[in-house]
Amino acid sequence: MAERRVNVGWAEGLHARPASIFVRAAMAAGVPVTIARADGDPVSAASMLAVLGLGAEGGEEIVLASGSDDADAALDRLAKLVSEGLDELPETV
Show which residues are catalytic.
15
Residues 19-47 as b or e (16 or more Cβ within 10 Å = b): bebbbbbbeebebebbbbbeeeebbbbbe
